Structure 1
Amino acid sequence: MPPTSSSTIVTVTGDYQYQGESHSHSDPVPCLNLTFSVGVGMTQTGKLIYTELQSIANGIGKFHNGDYIREQDAVDCVKDLIKSLRRENETCNIRRFLGQAQVLQEDLVPLIVYYGRADEELFEVTIRCLMNLTQPARIVFKNEVPQDQSTRHCYIQVEEYLQEYKQAFVNEQFLKVLSEKLAYFLELNVLIERLLVLLRNILHVAATDVDRLRTDDDASTHDQIVWQMHQTGLDKLILYIASSDDERRFAIHVLEIISLMFRDQSPEQLSSAGASRSRREKERDEQELTRITDMERAKKQSQLLRLTTR
């Protein structure tokens, strides 16, 4: 959304049209828990669209006493978000609005964490929405970086929101649910591709300026996600899919994921890490061998002493 000089909550009365669909409101659209910035120069149509999105976002759920509570119409609301994303204009207005509203951080990720295991329909539709929202900026801008200043500003905004999303995925509980679901779906042969694409999208997001300034021993957002993939067993599932003849159709997705996991590492770093690990293993084996040898020597000496004292 372009920079604004003021913020307001828009309410709508009467009949209006939103992207070709007729709506009628006798009362103002409810504004439950979110406030969005609306530009002073924004058209009435734009205000109506954003008010509709605000109503949809507020209908998904909210946090209460530290737990996320979904609304009864959460599935339909997430489906409405997907429909809205299909109708966005060339500046990705819907995507930027949802990024400003932090719908992914405040609603979609919590939906997976709190309800992803038990509600199959909610899990599936939320994954579809996450896949859409995490698409690389270059793809949603028709595989090119805009040249005109205003559209390029929108492109940069989408990139910034993607970086914020990536930070939101540094969530072990979220990745644990994904790991469990991926293992489950491997048996049923469903939804696997969507989960792999979502992982690819998450790992594809560029590093922030803060991450670029981190020292070598300070884990970046990317490093944290890769580590939590390891902690939750996602990396083992990826390797299983890569080595399974039955899952060859996912080979390109898996190749992208593995490549992106190590994209911040140079060949020299990877090779030296392997060598360092080998040296540690060798030292450990040598120490273990020395310990066993000493034990055997002590045992023989003890036996010899018993024989000489008889």
Structure 2
Amino acid sequence: MPTIEDIILNHDRRGINALRPHLPEDFCTQAAQYLLEHPGPVIIATGFYIIMSDAPETDGPPGAFAIGNAIRELGHPVAYAADDPVAGMMANLLSQQGDSSPVIDFPITGDAAKNYQAARNAIAEHEPSLVVSIERCAPDAHGTYRNMRGVDISDKTARIDRLFELGIPSIGIGDGGNEIGMGNLLDVVEAADMLPDYPAITTCNHLIASSTSNWGGYGLVAALSVEAGRNLLPDLETDAACIRYLVDAGAVTGVTGAHDYLVDEFTLEENAAVLQELHDYVASNLKG
């Protein structure tokens, strides 16, 4: 049977597998164990701006919700961190689901003092034992926030990465080399043919790489499920409904910017097939 890491790195269209030899063989399991070693409130950051469509993408929030729901099932509170308009989309969906988890709406500003203050305020209010990022842009060595094509999106990106500079235990999930956590493998990303020439510098304690970031989120939850002894993954329809909601609210697919029910050009059916593989893995490997 394939491992969790095999499943989430399958169908690689961006060359992210270049990172795999430089990560632990069981990087999802190690991240899950690390999360369980730091019980308590968790802040989950997500949301990525797609400049060609002037809209956020569908990759990130579904995985964030999957992680958040799993953590809540384990008895710990969750807060989400995003910027406009993702923060509003997430808050509306949570409200519809009867989930009172707060969404921290980070300001989009180039003022360094305000950015650090926003991060400190979030830490003071929610007192997280851990911070998680999934598909969240981080700056390059020049302080510029760039998409996969190297285009500057700084003026549309809140500096949520500041949360990861304050000494809080952290997990980063990404699929492109320009996200929070990819600073762990800065030189590897920079040298990879298909990955950005200006990689993100923000580091984390545990990095998860995947073909699309949502799958990395599902992979973390699958590993948590095995460690916890119960399946914490979302069911296929709940996950598909989340993606459909985001698209209906204005989100787009990240690769082409199309306003369609896609995540990085993967269809709902292709996405569901990966999630089903993880369900099958969990069913075969539950402990206890």
TM-score normalised by L of structure 1? 0.25
Greater fraction helix: 1
TM-score normalised by L of structure 2? 0.26
Structure exhibiting the larger radius of gyration computed from Cα positions: 1
